[in-house]
Structure 1
């Protein structure tokens, strides 16, 4: 039996103590200091969710909102539409952003590109290349680093390569406390323009306490997840973006729906699932099986569990 990822015991214990009034530490300030170190951005705000972080970020953008045609997060488009922003869709290579495609767009001044650290959670974006193109062309970059914070390679969730970094700390993210979010920037004017949505998005000391605990070893947790995904990509035939770092595995297949159904039976999990089916804007817009390694408890990222997943998939392909 596989297990769904849950917040660490240290995080839940601390959140409980804060809720009972037994700890009055200012965990919001402690989180802000840690996140400054993690991202390199000076200005940090804690929010109630990742979507609220997106709301704050997009509220500050005066021009178009550029979104990838797949491999992003549906909230990008939903929130941009709610804010009455003009949405421009960017062609991608199965979610991966190629700056050459940006040349094909007709966009307004003060526009922003919003994307996730990993295309569809499957493949690491080239943040350095994206950042260089956007800086050279006056485009603001917004990286959703919900799955990228703590990157030991310092490519993802790095303030050098994103003007704004947002993240969810809900379940089952790398920083996993069930709710909450983060937004960071070096552009002071971003927060000056968005004071009202910030007030509406303010989170609690309870959530900040949990985030503070989860931040302690976020890099190690991400690395374990990346290594587990790499192991599967190396042992399953026909995976998408095989040579790219990621936190899930996507296998294109014309019979994806039936195979996914059989995998859910043969790879049972105690709570929410980790086998999903594409097409799905948040993954790829073609028939495929998505194995959400990021959803699994770290106890289930050991070789014996991963080999079981690989064997079951290979037997059905």
Structure 2
């Protein structure tokens, strides 16, 4: 049986001690300092969830909200609709953003493009190329870096105008709750004082974030390498040559195969096999192996090879 990702024992112990009132350290100030370093941003707010971080970011946008046609997060559209924003759907290459496609749509002033560090968690976005285009065309970039924070190559979670993340389960900074938003744009927080007040979190959550951040780079690298290993040995994976945190395999009989895989590759909590079409992944029939959901002890080669053999056997049925 595989294990679902959970906060480390050390993190849970620290959070427990803070809840008991045994530690008086200002963890909010501490984790804000660490997030500034991770994101290369000067202004950071800790929030009660990733969706609240998105709410704050989109509240600051006066123009259109540009959303990828797949491979994003369904909350982008839900929150933009709630805020009565004009939504523009951007064509992508299975979730990957090609700046050339931005030339094909009509975009108003003061608009923003919101996207995730990895398209459907499966393929790394070319953040530098996206940011370069958007800055030259006065489009604000908002990156949901829940999966990309701590990138050792410093490509993800740093180069967008606004970087935000969830620190809920099973994200890279895995506390079970909370989130953050970071930017160098003073206007973002000046325009959104009310949403910020409604999204306050606690020292308990901040203490968890503060501790989990210390190893986030190492944990991200483990997850990326695990996914890379599986992509090498499973045929026809989407974005096979790109860094990612899951493996998506198109198949006409995806539903049946996923059902069989869920029975074979069991976990102690939630599963790590999902079915597409799914806006958050790809909008075609496919099997998705969510490596990001697994406990780090399950990312050793012996466990990954079990996944590879089981998936390949099902694909050959």
TM-score when scaled to structure 2?
A: 0.99
Match of 2:310 in 1: 312
Alignment partners' CA distance in 2, 1:84 and 1:152: 37
Cα offset, 1:24, TM superposition: 1.2
Matches within 5 A, 1:37-186: 37-158=37-158, 161-186=159-184
Query: Which sections of structure 2, spanning at least 5 residues, go unmatched?
Result: none
Deviations 1:231-287 (A, max 9, x none): 000010111110000000000000000000000111111100000000000000000
Alignment partners' CA distance in 1, 2:131 and 2:307: 36
Please tell me the root mean square deviation across aligned C-alpha atoms, in Å. 0.4
Alignment partners' CA distance in 2, 1:217 and 1:7: 11
Match of 1:267 in 2: 265
Aligned residues: 315
Partner of 2:245: helix, strand, or coil?
Answer: coil
Cα offset, 1:146, TM superposition: 0.1
Alignment partners' CA distance in 2, 1:264 and 1:287: 17
Cα offset, 1:316, TM superposition: 1.1
Alignment partners' CA distance in 2, 1:315 and 1:210: 40
Alignment partners' CA distance in 1, 2:144 and 2:310: 32
Partner of 1:312: helix, strand, or coil?
Answer: helix
Alignment partners' CA distance in 2, 1:21 and 1:222: 32
Match of 1:292 in 2: 290
Alignment partners' CA distance in 2, 1:289 and 1:83: 34
Match of 1:200 in 2: 198
Alignment partners' CA distance in 2, 1:103 and 1:52: 30
Cα offset, 1:13, TM superposition: 0.3
Query: Which sections of structure 1, spanning at least 5 residues, go unmatched?
Result: none
Cα offset, 1:107, TM superposition: 1.1
Alignment partners' CA distance in 2, 1:40 and 1:98: 24
Cα offset, 1:168, TM superposition: 0.1
Alignment partners' CA distance in 2, 1:10 and 1:104: 50
Alignment partners' CA distance in 2, 1:43 and 1:8: 28
Task: Could you list the structure 1 runs, at least 4 aligned residues long, displaced by more than 6 angstroms after superposition.
Answer: none
Alignment partners' CA distance in 1, 2:107 and 2:28: 37
Partner of 2:287: helix, strand, or coil?
Answer: strand
Partner of 1:77: helix, strand, or coil?
Answer: helix
Partner of 2:143: helix, strand, or coil?
Answer: strand
